[in-house]
Amino acid sequence: EGGGKIEVWRINGSAKTPVPGDDIGKFYSGDCYIVLYTYHCNDRKEDYYLCWWIGKDSVEEDQNMAAKLASTMCNSLKARPVLGRVYQGKEPPQFVAIFQPMLVLKGGLSSGYKSYIADKGLNDETYTADSVALIRLSGTSVHNNKAVQVDAVATSLNSNECFLLQSGSSVFSWHGNQSTYEQQQLAAKVAEFLKPGVTVKHAKEGTESSTFWFALGGKQSYTSKKIASEVARDPHLFAYSFNKGKFEIEEIYNFSQDDLLTEDVLLLDTHAEVFVWVGQSSDPKEKQSSFEVGQKYIEMAASLEGLSPHVPLYKVMEGNEPCFFTTFFSWDPAKAIAHGNSFQKKVMLLFGVGHASENQQRFNGTNQGGATQRASALAALNSAFSSSSPAKSSSAPRSAGKSPGSQRAAAIAALSSALSAEKKQPPEGGSPLRLSRTSSVDAIAPGNEVSTAEIEDSKEVPERKEIETVEPAETDGEDVGPKPEPEQDETGNDSSQTTFSYERLKAKSENPVTGIDLKRREAYLSDEEFESVLEMTKEAFYKLPKWKQDIHKKKVDLF
């Protein structure tokens, strides 16, 4: 947000060279850079935004070295920084805002770039102060205004933008008839940044001098079309797994901050950026490979959903989430600063800090079975508390005559059982339990407090069967996917279910069906129409991963 400290290094061979203060903001397309922005946010001492920028003409050796050195810097700062990879032309708003102005020039200064063009016999187009250079100015705010050097020909002009033309000692500021005042102001700022103290000659579209056109190689026609901006899309949160070496993802729908469990590594795709969120208690190997996981996701989404392969990629550590990440959640800072595993955090919210501290030793050092039992208890708590809240709806039927109080008591009984189980080791050779991720763990509403005495008083243990969502894990490495409801057959069909026409089941139907599960529109198609619309049988469809099912449903407006 401004006021921070900016440090920039250019990659040169196996080292990084500091960029002088007066040149910070200048980037060459043949080079790679590391950017560290240190700033203060709220009451925290210091926050860090660390990323490496990859020029479109840079060599692979420089790109790899930039990634390596940036990761080393991140580790030296105890993994606190948000670590990002940014490609030229795909700079996110928070990156652009650091530099006022940001200027991308042709060519490169690194030894790797110079060697590359020499080996290939290419002309060195690197910008110099006395060369002919045309610079396009775009954007209307500090978060998107950039200056980029383009080919110095008249066809590069656009009536919607402003341009700077450098020719020897002269600098022209060309204003397109449809350019904005902000772009014209940016042109003046960039001219001063490029050549301090220079006298700028203004040329409004249609009033250009012959000297102006001569520098561009003669007057030619150019476009007046606006460059289309990318359409904003809804963000999506994913869990991932490797099934027999194959990368698979599962979407977490209607996600919230409570889905960010400290034991997990999750992917947030906003279409403009991809974040890999790393929980503090996640597996050390997953922490180390989190960037590779993000890259695997981008490659997959690029081929299936049209995501740009050069989309910015960030690694965000739990507890150091930046505002441009938390904006996609209804963020509660109190949850973010709570310490411990997911179970301990929930206990802290439920009983207070003192109770969580009292039980800290009991929770530490437990095996995997204990961890999943804690997850089971969290799911039980979520089911009971959200079922008594009108703001949330539950897909599970509620037992007749059961009050919210008794459901909460039953949930606490489940908690008590899980606490007791922490002290026991699973039988040798036994399979641990694995939690099906069917819902997020919601925060306990202020009106739902319970006392520790309720744990002892609660005897409604049988009701736990209604609220627990635990299923045995596969022992042969097979991925455990969501199980169909009991009344459905293996194709996802309900034998007693009414069918409807495709025209009525479509999301944009003019005569939509009511009273159905809108997340399973396809299930209400007849077998014949299902095969006609989705071009496969129901059995084949429901064997696909959930994310792939969703892609097929989106194509035929059943999502």
In this predicted model, what pLDDT tens digit does every residue of 378-414 receive, in sequence order? 555 555 444 444 433 333 333 334 444 444 455 455 5
Class of domain 502-555: mainly alpha
Q: How confident is the model at residue 226 (pLDDT cuts 50, 70, 90)?
A: confident
Q: How confident is the model at residue 497 (pLDDT cuts 50, 70, 90)?
A: confident
Q: Which residues pair with 524 in a beta bridge?
A: none
Ranges of each domain in the chain: 5-202, 257-334, 338-472, 502-555
Residue 492: predicted pLDDT: 55
Two structure tokens written together for 221 = 């026609």
In this predicted model, what pLDDT tens digit does every residue of 52-66 receive, in sequence order? 999 999 999 999 999
d(CA 338, CA 344): 9
Residue 44: predicted pLDDT: 66
d(CA 495, CA 523): 11
Report angle CA 304, 310, 316 to the nearest 5 degrees.
Answer: 95
Two structure tokens written together for 525 = 């198609």
Q: How many Å is the Cα radius of gyration of the chain?
A: 29
d(CA 293, CA 286): 9
Two structure tokens written together for 70 = 């940036």
257-334 and 502-555 in the same fold: no
Select the more confidently predicted residue: 388 or 237. 237
The residue length of the chain stands at: 559
Average pLDDT over residues 354-377: 45
CATH homologous superfamily of domain 5-202? Severin (3.40.20.10)
> Cα–Cα distances in Å, from 384 out to 146, 434, 454, 526?
52, 20, 14, 36
d(CA 81, CA 410): 42
Two structure tokens written together for 432 = 């641990």
CATH architecture assignment, domain 257-334: 3-Layer(aba) Sandwich (3.40)
